[in-house]
Every structure is written in C-alpha cells, then in structure tokens.
Structure 1
Amino acid sequence: MIKRILIALLLLFSTLSWAQVRVVTELGEGWRFRKGKHDQAYRTDFNDKGWEKVTVPHDWAIYGPFDKEIDKQVVAIEQNGEKVPSEKTGRTGALPYIGEAWYRHEFTLPHYRKGQRVLLVFEGAMSEPRVFLNGQKVGEWAYGYSYFHFDITDKVQEGKKNTLAVQLSNRGESSRWYPGAGLYRKVQVIVKNPESIEQWGTFVTTPFISRDLAKVNVKTKVSGGNLRLVTQIRDAQGNTVATDSTAKVFGQEFEQNIAVTNPQLWSPETPYLYTAVTRLYAGNVLRDEVSTRFGIREISYRPNVGFSLNDKVRKFKGVCLHHDLGPLGAAVNKAALRRQLQILKDMGCDAIRSSHNMPSLEQLELADEMGFMFLAESFDEWAKPKVKNGYNRFFEEYAEKDIVNLVRATRNHPSIVMWSSGNEVPDQWGAEGVKRAKWLQEIFHREDPTRPVTVGMDQVKATMASGFGALLDIPGLNYRVHLYEEAYQSFPQGFILGSETASTVSSRGIYKFPVEKAIEKQYP
C-alpha cells in the first residue's frame, strides 16, 4: 500500500513539476533610476552605482517641483465663448513630466532551463520606451499607455545576471492632462516551455446563459505540436464545477465548450467570478498552465431599448476617470485604486470610462471584483493632432498593434461591456475620418466579436453629415445635450450614449439663474 502511494506521488510530481510550467517574476524592487540623457546606459558595464534606487511601478514626475511654465498656454477656449487669448496653465498638473530618463535592473532566472522561452512584459511605460538586455536592443514601442511584450529568449543568459535597461522620453505638448512619467505600471519576466499557451492567448466568452445552464466557450492559442488541452472551471470558492478535455484544434488554436450548471451571473450588484484553469500537455507531461478569471454575463444593445445586462434594461450611472491617483501620481497602486473605486461605489456609480487611454490591469481586476461596468478607451488622437507631439505621430504605424494588445490583454474581464476607439478626435471632420473610424472598429470586431465599439464625439453635427456617427456600433455624445433629440432621430442605431456629460449641462462653471425645470426626456 505504501509503495503504491509513493509511486502515485512520484507520477504526480513528474506530471505537475513546477520546473515544467511557466514562472512569472515581477521586476518590482532593485531598480536604479536617473533622469537625463545617458547615452551609454544600455551597456552592461555602465556604472549606475550613484543612481537612485526605486521600486517599479514608479512615476518620477510626481515629485515636482510645480512650475506653471511647463504647461502654460496663451489661448482662447472657443467652446467657452472666449474671443481673446489669455494665459492658461495646469493642463498637465504643472509637473515636470517632460524629459528623458533611464531605468536599469539586474536579474537572474533561477528556474530557467536552456530551450525555454522568455518573455519581457510591460503593462505601460511613459513613454516611447527603448528596451535593452545585456547591451543589445530588444525592441521599442511608442504609446505610453499600451501593454506590450518582447521575446528575449535569444538574449537572456542562463545562470548569470542579466542587465535590463529602459530608456524613456516624454516630449512637451504630448498630452492634454498629467500623463505621469517612467515605468508606472508592472514589468514582468515570464519563463515558459516552447510548447506553451501564447501571451494573452486565452479568450473566454459565455455565448449561452439560462437559469440552469451556461455555455462557456474557451479559445486557447498555443505554440507547439501534438498537444492536448484540459480546462477546469472553478467557482469563487475554488471548487471545480466543470472539466473539459475534448478540445477541438484548429491550427494552433484549441476551442472548448464547457457546460456550467446553475450559473452565478456577474453584475455590479453581484460581481461573481469564476476561474478557468487551462493546462497544456504533451502526452502526460504538463507543459504549461494559465488561470483566467471571468464572469458569466450577457450584454446586449437593442434599437429603441438600449443596453441590457443579463436581460435587464439599465442605464449607465458612470464617470469618466483619468488614470492618475492625484498626489500619488500615475504609478499604479492597487490599494489606492480600491479606495478610489469604493468612494465611487458608495456614491452610486456603477460604470467607468477610462478617459482617454488604456486602463491598468489592476483597475480592471478591481472593476471585476467590485462590480463596475467598464468602457475601455484607446486613444485621444488619431491621425489629426490635438497637441503637437501627441499620438498622431504614431497612429499609422501603431494603431492596429495597440488595439490588438488592448483587446487581447483585457478581453476576459467581465466588467468591460464596450470598447472606445477614440475621444473627440479631430478626424470627426471629413471623409478620411469616416474611413479611419470604420477601420478601427473592424479591428476591434476582429479581435473581439462580442462587444460593440463607440467614439466619444463632440462634433455631433459634423458626424451626422459625414456618416461618421452612423457607422459606429454605438454613437457616443460628449456633452451637446441640446443635440440629443436630433442625434437620436438622425442616427440609425436606435439609441445614443452619453459618453461624457455632466449634471451641470456642460456649463463648466457658469450657472444661470433662475433655474427653469425642463421636461425630462429618456433615450435608450
């Protein structure tokens, strides 16, 4: 009997050995940082002993000093009826976010074995990061809010120290709000086998839901051949409620349909979460394992009805929320985010729009847990600029890559009920803008057919005339409350979204008395 138990244990450990599955290491402590130009800082022999020791996530600009000259403008704000230019400041917090900076970090990979793959994952780097490992350039990105990763397998050193160097550069006139600076979101190293699940390679949806049964569809992209996949669905207490080992394979993608009985539905009032544990085997040997948290919920947008969650019509009671944490800056802090969201929850908020960029993964995790419907936004600019050094410089080369990464990294969050491809973009004018809106929307549809796409439009008359607003899944109106009736009648969708508005009816500090009560109108 004892012999049989020992043999079983040996077989179990040979199958589930941690040396055979992925190891994720967060590079948090141990960084060295210095602001300014340091042309040789990518080299392994560069002397950084005098540099400041910091922990990532890190925002170097929040330390100040404040200086109104940093973001001073002499302009007339036309939408406020101004005719004469006057001095304006504070758009970016009067904080010194402009300039170049370097981060360096040394790390080893104790679990790494030759032949494995190594990924370097960034969840946000402000901005225009250039990444070097052991003196060699790994790659670069542009958008400071984008998630991205590089395969560093051919540059990593086994059993030795690896030197990571990241150069960041924030230009002036690149943002309309405080963007932060530095490695303000997590950096991770992932070690996994050649036979493995791709980064952001799982996609969990719930295409059928009834009171007694839910169909959970799991698509999993993998690398390697002659593999099999086993997925367990676990409830919020960690109990296994369903298992599937009969995945169909289409090229390098497995697809599973798993039945969950008596499903608990996700909503802002009951944010119930399940976990899909997906294991990849070569024969009987476990090669990779990924856990994906998800919710069982149904969303729909119907003409003359509007938005429904789990077959119940409801309005969004939401806010547009920038990514920074006030005096804490842009560096992600989950405790501070939780406090922020709890305050919103206590005041009756149930929805958030990430204005006007890609949200942090921590914010989405909390939205899942605490019960917020989320409108995940991508860009504040397309090809036409709002500010001299904004995203317009990168749009043609990076827009598709940035949207692909946004969707793949976040699509399993049940809190996300809608995508936004832009906010008040100047491209609302003209035929080229219509083409761009269609192109971006189709990328979202390709990557995620389950959610609609909107744009926060402030040039409503122009979008009525050009067809821009008509082609969107959801026409979003920023302010312009006086145009709601006309927009509702003009656009073919049968509903409109107040994507950015206010109880003060967009007066921005101008209040007219006496107040006259108007007849309230409801739009789906």
Structure 2
Amino acid sequence: MKYFKRIKIKQLSFALLFLVLVTSGFSQARKVINFDNGWQFTKGEVVSAENPSFDDTKWRTLNVPHDWSIEGPYDKTNPTARGGGYLPAGIGWYRKTFKIDKEDVKKLITIEFDGVMANSDVWINGQHLGKRPYGYISFAYDLTPYLNFDKPNVIAVRADNTIQPASRYYTGAGIYRHVRLVSVNATHLKHWGTFITTPIATASKGVVNLKVEIDNKAAAGDYKLQIEIADATGKVVKTAESVKNIAANGTVLFSHDIEISNPKLWNLETPNLYTATTRLYSGKTLIDNQTIPFGIKKSEFIAESGFWLNGKNLKLKGVCLHHDGGAVGAAVPLGVWKERFKKLKEVGVNAIRTSHNPVAPEFLDLCDQMGFLVMDETFDTWTAAKHNGEKGYNLYFKEWWEQDTRDLILRDRNHPSIVIYSIGNEIHDDLSYPEGYKKYKMQEDVVKKYDDTRPVTMALFRPANSKVYLSGFAEQMDVVGQNYRENELIAAHEAHPTWKVLGTENTHVLVQWLALRDKPYMAGQFLWTGYDYLGEADWPETTNNQGLFDRAGNWKQQSLQRDSWWSEEPVVHIMRKSENAGEGKWVADWTPNDFDTYDNAKVQVYSNCEEVELFLNDKSLGSVKKPADDSPREWNVTFEEGTIKAIGKDKGKVVAEESFTSAGKPSKIILTKSNPTLVNNWDDVSFITATIVDDKGIRCANADNLIKFTVTDSGKIIGVDNGNIISHESYQTPERSAYNGKAIAIIKATKNSGKIEIKASAEGLEAAAISIDIVPEKGK
C-alpha cells in the first residue's frame, strides 16, 4: 500500500532527479495551494483528452468541487434508477492548465484529491498517474517526475460512473470535493504521517503523544523536529524538540509525550481544540511544517454501562447521514453542513454515523468544532452485491479494500470527534464462523495497525438469521453493532453481559427510543436518518424521506417528536392529521385543505413538560400529564377556524408554548436568511427561505405557487429546493414551486465586498426582498 501511487520511471532519470534534490539544498518550507479554480469540463467520452495538446477551449469553464449529476434532468429511465435517484450517470472529463513557480523547481510536488466520483483516472502532461475506483476515498499522486518548470502543465481527470446501478443511494459525479497542490522539500513530513493521541486525559492532567514520520529523499544528516502545542486562543502551552539522524532515502519516526496541566478537555458542550505545529529543521533552516488540530479526551465503551466521555456516562443520540446536501448534490459547501448540524443539535443529536462511506475531511473538522461524536464508516458492501447497487464497490473490494481502509484511517485518525470505526453496513457476505469472521478480522487488523486507540464495529444485518450471535463471531467484536431489531440486541447482551452493544441504525418509533432510554448498557443509537437523502426511492419519488428533516431543512413529524425525547430544553409541538377523522399525514399547522369537510381533527402534542394543556380559541380542551413511556399526548378536537395553542408546564409554571392560526388566502411572500453575512469563498452560504403568507403574516401551508428568485451580480444561486420528494423540478434554476407554503434558495457571494440583494416573486402575490452583507474573510 502506498500513500501516493508512484509511477515507475527509468533508473537513470530517477538518479538525476535525486542528484538535483541532494545538491540543491532546501528552499522554503511546505506550500499548500488551493487547486479548485479554473477547470475545463465536458460530459461524455472524449478521445485523447489526456494529451497536453488537446484543445479544450470549447469545454465549460468551472470551479470544483463540482457534481454534474445533480444538474439533472430527472428521468425514470436513467440507469442510476432508484438507488441514484434517477439522476444522470456517465463519464466526465476535467482538465486544468497551470504553471509551477520557479522557486518550486527543487520541490516534490503532489496533487491531493479529497474525492472523485468515480473510477477516476488522472494524467499529468500525458503520463498516467493511477486509478481509484472508490469515489469516496481521498488520494494523492506525486507529480514531480513529469512536471514542466519552463512551460505550462496539463492535469487531466476522467471520472466514470457509467456502470450502473453502482449504489443503493445517490453518489454524484465528478470532482465533487476539494483539490490542492502541495510542494515540500526532499526531506519532509510524511503525508498523513502524524498521529496524535491523548493516552491520559483528565481535568488535571493531559498527556499528548505525537508520532511523526519523516521521509528523507535528500542526503543523510541530522534533522531537528520542533513541536508546539497551542490552545484555542493561539497561546503556546507546551513545546518539545528532538534531533535524529536520517539516512538517505530513509524514513524515521519521532515520538514525543507532552504533558499539559489542567487541559481543556474536548467534550460535547465545549469542544475545545488544541493545535500541534510540527517544524522540521536542517541546521537552522526550516524545511517543513504542518499544523494539525486535535482534542484532549478519553472515550470508552463499557459493557454494563454503555458509552463514557471524559468520565461522564452518556448516550450516543445519533443520526446516520449520507454525503449529499440535497439541492447541491454531492458537492456540499461546508455552510450547508453547518446549517444542518445546527438543526441536529437543536433536536438533541450528539452523534453522527458517516453512512456508509468516507466523508469529506472538512465534514469531520466541523464535527470536531461543533461537538459531535462520530462513527467513521468504510463500506456499504464487501464482495456480495446488494439489490439496486449490484455494480458497486463489491466489484472492487478484493483489490482495493486494504488500500482504501488504510487511507481512511490515516487521514481521519487525528479527529477527536471520532470515537468508533465501522467497517461495514449490513454486509451480505457469508459471516459464518470462523471463515466469515476472517473478512472482518483482516479489516479490523488494518484499522488497528494505524489506529489502535478506538474500537471497531460493523452494522450487523439480521444477526439472528446469520447466527453471528451464536457462532462466536459477535463475541470477537470490540463493540457489537446491530441495525434495527433492538430486542435481539437486548437479548444478546443479557445472554452475554460482557458484550458492548450499540444500535448502529434505528427507526424513529417510540419502542426503539425506549430500548435506549431504559437499558443502561445500550451505548446509543443512530437514527435512519438525520436528513432526507437523494436516491433509494421508487419513482415518482426521488428522495428517501426517513430523515428527521427534509432536504430543505424543514422540521417533520419525527424531528418534532424526537425533540421532545432528546432536547434538554422544555418543548411543546402541536401536530394534527391533515385529513378528517385521523386520516392523512401529520402536519404542523391549523389550515386544512378544505374547511368545509374537515371537522374532526386528531391532534398530538409532543412535549417533555410535566403537563400540557391544549386550547382552541382560548377554550381549554384539558390538560394531560406526561406519560411514563414518553408517548405523545392526544386530543380529538372538533375543528374550528382560529387558533390552537399548547402550553407546557413544569411544577405549575409555564415553560413552553406553541400555537397555530388558520391562514386566509395567500397574499405575499416573506423572506428570511440563515446567515446575515457572507464571505466570498466556496464554502460559505446563506439559506433564503421564501414563505407564502396571508395578509396577517400567517403561513399558507397549502400554497404551491411558483416562486422566482433573483439576485444581484454580487451573489449567485447555487441551488433551489422545497423538500418535496416527488418534485422533478431542477435544482439549478432560479425558481421553485412552494411546498407546504415554502421554498428555499441557497446563496453564495461572488464579490469580496458590498451587498447581495435577493428578491422573490410569484404571480398574484406581493414580492419580497432581503439583503446580505459581504464581509472580508478572516485572516485576509
């Protein structure tokens, strides 16, 4: 397994290159260059597009990350079918022409891709660098032997997901994550070669261990490694240094234990982060440097009491998340995840399962910063195929599993948010013991070779059927993870009290919540899912709608109920059945489709308050105490137009309330923004929500008007949505039909200063306008 897939070159050429590096001395330290901008792109197969002389001037110019599949159109006949949400698949070509600074002529230069979907091939100046089938994995190639320093260079990338169905859920297509160029000296910090652990993490003492690998492609000599540990304010709290002699073409491992008194521990409430800056010197010359965030924490799973963080027993209240961001597809700006994470926090979520594949590295950065615990997962399939994804990773597992697993662990292991690894989801391979267990064990061994500080699990699929609880398989696992069928997992633990158990995938129903609430040994659960996701849906549906929130971020019945179970703040939420006499779906409004035929409203209130009293037009409909089993409180209400209100009380004091008023005819649009300011970078966004209201400002929940958005040239719309799982409208146009009276537009800045003016209009309604200030990016 290689960190970079190196290309064989003639022995003489390598000798000359080595001689240049040895005799040239060292120039400045590490340089990292954003390589996202200025790519040429085209869809379809193109002959000779890897050749530097190929004319790509007629191709589309764009920046990456870029997902061309989300551009559509939806089509029932698209080969991605239900798994890929009926969006297009095929081949996409990317090319970029660039120059290398003369000051870097003596450097080793690599290109790093955070993810290319899928079956990517990469060329530099016509030389093939390698292929990576797995679209979710990050990878890098050494460009040095083939670069021109006196004329332009051409990088070409071919991404191919024509072989379908390739996944049970939406994958996206193209260079959908960030790209960078990295230049280093001949002696340098190895790619993903720094491993930071905290073997002691208490309120009074922290011990930080750093293992740092150094590659030396220069002459043998003494090299000094200097380490600085800084807190979140940038204050240096500890330093260390040591000197080692490194042989030519050699690799050496530096290891340091650094003690920190009274450390600020990383936890859910205050996710304190430190940084470790490593500087490598030859004599007095700085030749490489790198800064890595980390957290000081202790996490563990205990058989009888579940999960512990820094000596505190808590439940993993988790959700599973796929990698798409709704309207933006697989190329997800970090601002989209920020908005989603805020809502997950609001509903009480504290953990995320990366189902069922590696996520973008900045996703994990955000988990570190916002205080989420993470189950980091590798694969959805091993060798056995799954329905609606028969031509997926199962075609590549035997050849690529080890490299992909190792690269995931090396890349992710410094994230404090990660508390457990999963090496498979509902694997259909034969898991019989001992032969079936060997596939599990070989992957677990690779994980622990590169990170032995965290446990390993997998999401077992119908273990009672596969007999893994009886065969000896499960008892070998660090933590036994099971999808659904909570009673089986409970019975398994009670038959084997030394087993550590975790719900790796669970539904939203009450009985599954009680299995977590009432069993101390249940470490946690991961709900399927946190957000609705593209794919895994039958036409005309295009989206799986089992999320707490829909694609556009709207609250749903299951998120409102979960809020009453998981929130630490007092809450009340009113829901009613949309159709008469308890028929239809649950909705959060008091405006039926037909006032004349709706007379019997079934109402539920979700609340964690001791007592809830319901009112209709200021008349009390009675109070209900909190049920011991956390079930919703119910009323059968004779419908009256007007206002329904629920009041929650604790110890007789009003602590929460909610009300809905019947809406009149749609009159106008109102706009709100999730982010009042934007900086001009790829990751920063603001969600503009257009809501259709009556002349009193009450949402018209049944309005479906076509809303048209416009923005000034200081901003742009990168996606529109409404959360409707059967809508086939384009995400890329500036208009969207309202659904439940709402639609959203996701906005980015295109200039470095000024204002973005956004307007929304619809035929027959009063238009609305809102503005966003563009502010300078911090540090620039």
Counterpart residue type for residue 484 of structure 1: L
Q: What secondary structure is seen at the aligned counterpart in 1 of 2:140?
A: strand
**1:105-184 equivalences in 2 (<5 Å):** 105-110=96-101, 112-170=103-161, 171-184=163-176
Q: What secondary structure is seen at the aligned counterpart in 1 of 2:227?
A: strand
1:277–1:289 CA contact under 8 A, matched in 2 = yes
Counterpart residue type for residue 132 of structure 1: W
CA distance in 1, matches of 2:132, 2:515: 52
Question: Which residue number in structure 2 is paired with residue 360 of structure 1?
Answer: 360
Give 1:472 deviation, angstroms: 1.5
Mean CA deviation greater in 132-141 or 251-260:
251-260
Query: Over aligned residues, Cα RMSD in angstroms?
Result: 2.2
Aligned to 1:409, which of 395, 401, 411?
411
- Distance 1:518-1:137 versus aligned 2 partners, 3 A rule: closer
**1:342-381 equivalences in 2 (<5 Å):** 342-381=342-381
Question: Which residue number in structure 1 is paired with residue 213 of structure 2?
Answer: 221
Aligned to 1:231, which of 227, 234, 242?
227
Counterpart residue type for residue 267 of structure 2: S
- Distance 1:490-1:400 versus aligned 2 partners, 3 A rule: farther
Aligned to 2:493, which of 465, 470, 488?
488
Deviations 1:386-421 (A, max 9, x none): 132111111111111111110111111100111110
CA distance in 1, matches of 2:515, 2:408: 43
CA distance in 2, matches of 1:493, 1:193: 51
Aligned to 1:446, which of 446, 449, 468?
449
Give 1:64 deviation, angstroms: 0.4
CA distance in 1, matches of 2:173, 2:395: 19
Aligned to 2:180, which of 177, 188, 208?
188
Name the structure with the higher strand share. 2
Aligned to 2:428, which of 426, 429, 447?
426
Give 1:69 deviation, angstroms: 2.1
Residues 1:497 and 2:502 are matched in the alignment: yes
Question: Which residue number in structure 2 is paired with residue 210 of structure 1?
Answer: 202
Residues 1:300 and 2:300 are matched in the alignment: yes
Residues 1:435 and 2:434 are matched in the alignment: no
Counterpart residue type for residue 339 of structure 2: R
Question: Which residue number in structure 1 is paired with residue 768 of structure 2?
Answer: none
1:249–1:255 CA contact under 8 A, matched in 2 = no
CA distance in 2, matches of 1:202, 1:128: 28
Aligned to 1:66, which of 53, 74, 99?
74
2:198–2:206 CA contact under 8 A, matched in 1 = yes
- Distance 1:491-1:357 versus aligned 2 partners, 3 A rule: farther
Question: Which residue number in structure 1 is paired with residue 709 of structure 2?
Answer: none
Question: Which residue number in structure 1 is paired with residue 633 of structure 2?
Answer: none
Counterpart residue type for residue 183 of structure 1: I
Q: What secondary structure is seen at the aligned counterpart in 1 of 2:159?
A: strand
CA distance in 1, matches of 2:416, 2:243: 23
What's the TM-score, normalizing by structure 2? 0.60
Residues 1:243 and 2:239 are matched in the alignment: yes
CA distance in 2, matches of 1:519, 1:22: 50
Question: Which residue number in structure 1 is paired with residue 554 of structure 2?
Answer: none
Give 1:484 deviation, angstroms: 2.2
Give 1:506 deviation, angstroms: 9.4
Give 1:267 deviation, angstroms: 0.7
- Distance 1:178-1:506 versus aligned 2 partners, 3 A rule: farther
Residues 1:48 and 2:56 are matched in the alignment: yes
Question: Which residue number in structure 2 is paired with residue 466 of structure 1?
Answer: 471
Structure 1: gaps of 5 or more residues: 1-16, 73-88, 508-515
Give 1:282 deviation, angstroms: 0.9
- Distance 1:493-1:445 versus aligned 2 partners, 3 A rule: farther
2:318–2:353 CA contact under 8 A, matched in 1 = yes
CA distance in 2, matches of 1:272, 1:159: 47
Aligned to 1:39, which of 7, 25, 47?
47
1:218–1:257 CA contact under 8 A, matched in 2 = yes
CA distance in 2, matches of 1:91, 1:506: 29
User: Does 1 or 2 have the higher relative contact order (CA < 8 Å, sep 6+)?
Assistant: 1
1:25–1:188 CA contact under 8 A, matched in 2 = yes
Give 1:161 deviation, angstroms: 1.3
Name the structure with the higher helix share. 1
Residues 1:285 and 2:290 are matched in the alignment: no
Give 1:372 deviation, angstroms: 0.3
**1:383-398 equivalences in 2 (<5 Å):** 383-386=383-386, 387-398=389-400
CA distance in 1, matches of 2:489, 2:398: 33
1:427–1:433 CA contact under 8 A, matched in 2 = yes
2:189–2:215 CA contact under 8 A, matched in 1 = yes
Mean CA deviation greater in 385-394 or 166-175:
385-394
CA distance in 2, matches of 1:127, 1:401: 16
1:106–1:162 CA contact under 8 A, matched in 2 = yes
Give 1:429 deviation, angstroms: 3.4
1:428–1:457 CA contact under 8 A, matched in 2 = no
How many residue pairs get aligned? The number is 483
Question: Which residue number in structure 2 is paired with residue 332 of structure 1?
Answer: 332
Give 1:116 deviation, angstroms: 1.5
Mean CA deviation greater in 226-235 or 384-393:
384-393
Mean CA deviation greater in 352-361 or 217-226:
217-226
Deviations 1:144-193 (A, max 9, x none): 00111111110111142110000111021110000011000111110100
2:76–2:86 CA contact under 8 A, matched in 1 = yes
Deviations 1:482-520 (A, max 9, x none): 31222213456432100000232799xxxxxxxx99994
- Distance 1:318-1:69 versus aligned 2 partners, 3 A rule: same
1:428–1:468 CA contact under 8 A, matched in 2 = no
1:247–1:255 CA contact under 8 A, matched in 2 = no
CA distance in 1, matches of 2:345, 2:254: 38
Question: Which residue number in structure 2 is paired with residue 523 of structure 1?
Answer: 521
Q: What secondary structure is seen at the aligned counterpart in 2 of 1:69?
A: coil
- Distance 1:150-1:506 versus aligned 2 partners, 3 A rule: farther
- Distance 1:37-1:506 versus aligned 2 partners, 3 A rule: farther
1:124–1:184 CA contact under 8 A, matched in 2 = yes
Question: Which residue number in structure 2 is paired with residue 477 of structure 1?
Answer: 482
Mean CA deviation greater in 186-195 or 221-230:
221-230
- Distance 1:518-1:430 versus aligned 2 partners, 3 A rule: closer
Q: What secondary structure is seen at the aligned counterpart in 2 of 1:227?
A: strand
2:223–2:283 CA contact under 8 A, matched in 1 = yes
Structure 2: gaps of 5 or more residues: 1-24, 523-780
CA distance in 1, matches of 2:365, 2:517: 40
* Structure 1 ranges of 4+ moved more than 6 A: 247-250, 516-519
Deviations 1:443-489 (A, max 9, x none): 11111010011101122112213333222111111001231222213
Q: What secondary structure is seen at the aligned counterpart in 2 of 1:58?
A: coil
1:36–1:101 CA contact under 8 A, matched in 2 = yes
Equivalent pairs: percent with the same residue?
38
Question: Which residue number in structure 1 is paired with residue 594 of structure 2?
Answer: none
2:223–2:243 CA contact under 8 A, matched in 1 = no
Deviations 1:284-315 (A, max 9, x none): 11110000100000111222122111011111
Counterpart residue type for residue 119 of structure 2: E
Q: What secondary structure is seen at the aligned counterpart in 1 of 2:275?
A: strand
Counterpart residue type for residue 144 of structure 1: G
Question: Which residue number in structure 2 is paired with residue 264 of structure 1?
Answer: 264
Question: Which residue number in structure 1 is paired with residue 746 of structure 2?
Answer: none
Question: Which residue number in structure 1 is paired with residue 656 of structure 2?
Answer: none
CA distance in 2, matches of 1:111, 1:297: 44
Give 1:27 deviation, angstroms: 1.1
- Distance 1:248-1:374 versus aligned 2 partners, 3 A rule: farther
